[in-house]
Structure formats: structure tokens, C-alpha cells
Amino acid sequence: MANEEKKPCCIIVVGMAGSGKTTFMQQLNAHLHRKNTPPYVMNLDPAVYKLPYEANIDIRDTVAYKEVMKQYNLGPNGGIMTSLNLFVTKFDQVLNILEKRAPSVDHILIDTPGQIEIFQWSASGSIICDTLASSWPTCIAYIIDTPRSTSTSTWMSSMLYACSMLYKTKLPLILVYNKCDVQNADFAKEWMVDFEAFQQAIRKDEEDNADGSTSGYMSSLVNSMSLMLEEFYRHLDSVQCSAVTGEGMDDFLEAVNKKVEEYEKEYKPEIERLKKLSEEEKEKQKEKQLSSLMKDMHVADKPDPAETLSDIEYEDNGELVDPDEDEGETISEDVKNQYRKAFNISDSVSNEELLKMMQS
């Protein structure tokens, strides 16, 4: 019973190319092994040459990325997306494997392609997120390159992408400021909670950048977006860590535990509600199709006897005869018997009376 109740948390790792997703996965995997809670690891990047960790499920074992590019005449991004789409056609098998392994692990880690838009905006990315979230608590770990985010415009771009990821997947999201061994992320956390501090940083960028990259409409746009995203920041947990040194991994796992609670309280009821609506809609469609089918087969309503008889032609002595065509025409005994049986007419009714009834 305990095994049935145990549910691992699925952590989907996403981020811009070069943000350190794969290295973060390696460090998180090693950290969980050191804690004697080894995770179940899945790699969804078909183009990666070599993984620094051992994946339990690897898309490269199923889809040959370079062959897909050749066969479909695709570029790198098109090849990755097509490979992911092909892999998802077998995702029911992946789900069966995960269901067997789930009771024995606490975390399922999913590494995604380096091109974030491929996973975020493709149908396969949505299918993977929805499928996992319908089975287990699931959250998104959005990896941010901290040294490159010291610019207000670059940081705001990352926040907008995180915002779109949150509302596209509809799953709890954790901001992971990576590479904190190179650049501390306290400045970014302050910008999220202190609008005035962010305004000062914008003004400083305007003064420092002689090329005008943050002046004029750009600074005005960043100001407006920061006000818009103020509510968005309240629903996020953010941690800083280093994928190289392992700093901050415990803080990240603590944030994951919070997101599991958030999933159970807020996201799971919504998922179940949407699932119920979907099932009800399917039932309505089934009933509609069944009703249409019954109508086509003339089963929905009881047929009119006269109409039915007029549509039937009977064979008498090798000739086709319509019983309603001529009063004096002979009607075979087989037809009379069929008529008696169809309308429960007693044998006591004479043939003459029966003939009148049939011709009326």
C-alpha cells in the first residue's frame, strides 16, 4: 500500500542554449546519488553528442537524429523537432516503464533539447508535460545563465520567456540562477521584489552603455514589462546554484518540495477538472454520433407500418408484386403470414379481412 501511495516528482529541466542545463542535470543526479536517493533520468535531446550522466531512457536509443535530417531533408532545428515528435508517438511505452519504476524513486529528471523553443512550442513538448503531470507531481526547472543576465534587458527577456513557459505548460515553475560561482544572483532576486532597485539598474545601464542599447523606447518597454510581471514574480520560487561546484542543490530540492505541495493544492484539481470536462465532451460526441447512426438506420424512431410495407416488394410466382398497387392483385401466403406476424394479427381473422387491412 505504501508503494501505491508513493509518487515521485517529475522535474523537467529547460533553459536557453548555453545556460548549463545538461551540466545542472549531471550535478543534480550526482547530488541525489550522494543522498542515497538515485533518480530516474530521461534524456530528450537527440542531438547531444555525449551525456555527462547515465540516462535510464535516452531518445537517441530510439531515434537517429542525423538519419532523420537526411530522410526528411531537414536542418538542425527541424531534425530535433521531428525526432522529438517521432519519439512521442511511442511515449505510451515510456509511460509504462515509468509507472513500473516510479514506486522505487523520489525524482524523475527530464533533460530537454538545448533549443528551448523546440520543446516549449512543439506539440510533442505539450504532450510530454500533460502526460507526466496527469500521473505525477510535475514542475519546471527554468535554468538561467546568471552572468549574462546582469543586463536589465537580457534579464527581462529571460523573465518573459519564463512567463511564457509557465502559462504554456500550466505547471509550477522554479527559476534556477545557474553559475553562481561566477556571478552571485542576489541582484536578480532583488530586481524581482524591488521595483525601485530595478529602475536604478535601468538608469545605470543607460549611463554605462554608450551604444544606446537600453535607451529610449527600450528602457520604456523594460519599465512597462517589469510592472506587468510583478504579479508573475509572486508565484515563483527562485534559487541560485552552481552546476560546477554543486552549491545550492539542497535549496533547489527544497523548492521542489514546495512545488509538489503547490501542485497537489492548485494544479492537480485544475488538471482533474479539465480531464473531467474532456471526458464529458467525448461522451457527448459519442452520444451525438450514436444518435446520428441510429437515425440513419431508422432505429431512433418506430417506423410507420404503411410506409414500411409500401417500400417492400414481394415475389409471387416469379414476379415482383407491390401489395398497395392493385386491390385485385394476388398476395402470396408468405406475405400474409409476414403481415400477421408483424402486427400480431390473430389466425381467426379471415384472409378477406386481412387483405382489406393490407390494402388500406
Within-domain flag for 324: no
Contacts of 282 (CB under 8 A, 6+ apart): none
pLDDT in tens, 233-246: 777 889 999 999 99
pLDDT of amino acid 182: 93
Residue 81 lies in a domain: yes
Residue 175 one-letter amino acid = L
Backbone angles phi, psi at 142, to 5 degrees: -95, 110
Assess if residue 235 is contained within a domain.
Answer: yes
Q: Domain of 186?
A: 9-209+219-257
What CATH number is given to the structural domain containing 113?
Answer: 3.40.50.300
Residue 73 CB-density burial (10 A; 0-12 exposed, 13-18 middle, 19+ buried): exposed
- What's the longest Cα–Cα distance across the chain? 112
Q: How many angstroms separate the CA atoms of 80 and 349, rounded?
A: 81
Identify the pLDDT of residue 289: 76
Q: Identify whether 358 is part of a domain.
A: no
Cα-Cα-Cα-Cα dihedral sign, residues 113, 115, 119, 124: negative
Grid coordinates representing 340 are: 400477421
- Per the structure, the count of domains in the chain is 1
At residue 116, the pLDDT reads: 86
Distance of CA 267 to the CA centre of its chain: 14
pLDDT score for 210: 56
Any domain includes 30: yes
Instruction: Tell me whether residue 88 is in a domain.
Output: yes
Q: Report whether 314 contacts 331 (CB < 8 A).
A: yes
Q: Is residue 311 part of a domain?
A: no
Would 360 be classed as within a structural domain? no
Cβ-in-10-Å burial (0-12, 13-18, 19+) of 54 comes to exposed
Q: What pLDDT score was predicted for residue 102?
A: 87
Alpha-helix runs per DSSP H in 61-147? 65-72, 76-88, 91-101, 116-121, 123-133
Give the model's pLDDT for residue 318: 47
Is 143 in a helix, a strand, or coil? Answer: strand
pTM of the model: 0.74
- Grid cell at residue 327: 386491390
pLDDT tens per residue across all 360 residues of the chain: 344 456 899 999 999 888 999 999 999 999 999 999 999 999 999 998 889 999 999 999 999 999 999 999 999 889 999 999 999 998 999 999 999 998 899 999 999 998 888 888 888 999 999 899 988 999 999 999 999 998 888 888 888 888 888 888 888 999 999 999 999 999 998 888 888 888 888 888 777 765 554 555 666 777 677 777 777 777 788 999 999 999 999 999 999 999 999 888 888 888 788 778 888 888 888 777 777 766 665 544 445 544 444 444 544 454 545 544 444 445 667 666 766 666 667 777 777 776 767 665
Distance CA 35, CA 32 (A): 5
Q: What is the pLDDT of residues 250-282, one digit of tens each?
A: 999 999 999 999 888 888 888 788 778 888 888
